[in-house]
């Protein structure tokens, strides 16, 4: 199996990865999982218009959104059209560079060393949205909380400004 480098989902370690021999990558024990989707990083959404665009992605089948460390990704779970019936790459000599780069290292010194990114990640995403309504619910909560924080910050700034003005007036009165 050729190697691929993509924006990757975080998944529990695959049993095949745990059983893989240290000296070999697990591609020969894998059903080409990395050739069955692609993912792209998105601009971080900031307002309703941005979130509405992301919602549009979710209206399409096989697409979902995940977020890690504040970075937003669109993933489409659709196999590469050049993946063969035996999980082989049918354009191996002409496969894209991203496919060539992925899946390192070729040799591991220790069974616990990572295999490919796909297998080695063991945590869930910070956020995942599979359906438009899941995003809708999250966005409403997120925007409400953000607005609440903005109001609190604004109120605190006004109090600080009023306190400073009072102190300045007291200082001016004392010097007369």
- Where does this chain bind ligand SF4 (CB under 6 A)? 1-4, 26-27, 30, 32-35, 80, 82-83, 89, 91, 95-96, 99, 102-103, 115-116, 118-119
Torsion angle of the four alpha carbons 26, 102, 55, 59, in this order, in degrees rounded to the nearest 10:
-60
**Which H helix or E strand runs over 39?**
strand 38-42
Residue number with CB closer to ligand SF4 (64 or 118) = 118
Residue number with CB closer to ligand SF4 (62 or 176) = 62
Radius of gyration of the chain (CA): 25
Tell me the closest approach of the beta carbon of residue 63 to ligand SF4, in angstroms: 17
Tell me the closest approach of the beta carbon of residue 127 to ligand SF4, in angstroms: 23
Tell me the closest approach of the beta carbon of residue 152 to ligand SF4, in angstroms: 46
Residue number with CB closer to ligand SF4 (16 or 67) = 16
Tell me the closest approach of the beta carbon of residue 110 to ligand SF4, in angstroms: 17
Residue number with CB closer to ligand SF4 (3 or 65) = 3
Distance CA 159, CA 163 (A): 6
What phi and psi, each to the nearest 5 degrees, are found at residue 119? -85, -30
Burial class from Cβ neighbours inside 10 Å (0-12, 13-18, 19+) for residue 42 reads: middle
Maximum distance among all Cα pairs of the chain, rounded to whole angstroms: 92
Residue number with CB closer to ligand SF4 (32 or 65) = 32
- Helix, strand or coil, per DSSP, at residue 124: coil
Place of tokens 């989902």: 9
Residue number with CB closer to ligand SF4 (82 or 142) = 82
Tell me the closest approach of the beta carbon of residue 3 to ligand SF4, in angstroms: 5
Distance CA 61, CA 105 (A): 33
Tell me the closest approach of the beta carbon of residue 107 to ligand SF4, in angstroms: 14
């Amino acid at each position: 199996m050729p190697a691929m480098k993509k924006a990757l989902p975080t998944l529990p370690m695959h049993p095949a990865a745990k059983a893989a021999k240290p000296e070999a990558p697990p591609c020969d024990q894998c059903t080409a999982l990395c050739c069955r989707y692609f993912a792209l990083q998105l601009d971080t959404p900031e307002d309703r218009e941005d979130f509405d665009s992301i919602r549009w992605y979710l209206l399409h089948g096989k697409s979902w959104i995940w977020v890690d460390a504040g970075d937003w990704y669109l993933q489409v779970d659709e196999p590469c059209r050049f993946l063969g019936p035996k999980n082989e790459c049918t354009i191996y000599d002409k496969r894209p560079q991203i496919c060539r780069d992925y899946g390192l290292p070729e040799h591991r010194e220790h069974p616990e060393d990572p295999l490919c990114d796909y297998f080695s990640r063991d945590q869930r995403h910070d956020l995942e949205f599979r359906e438009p309504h899941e995003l809708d619910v999250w966005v409403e909560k997120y925007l409400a909380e953000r607005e609440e924080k903005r109001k609190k910050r604004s109120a605190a700034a006004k109090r600080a400004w009023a306190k400073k003005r009072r102190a300045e007036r007291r200082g001016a009165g004392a010097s007369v």
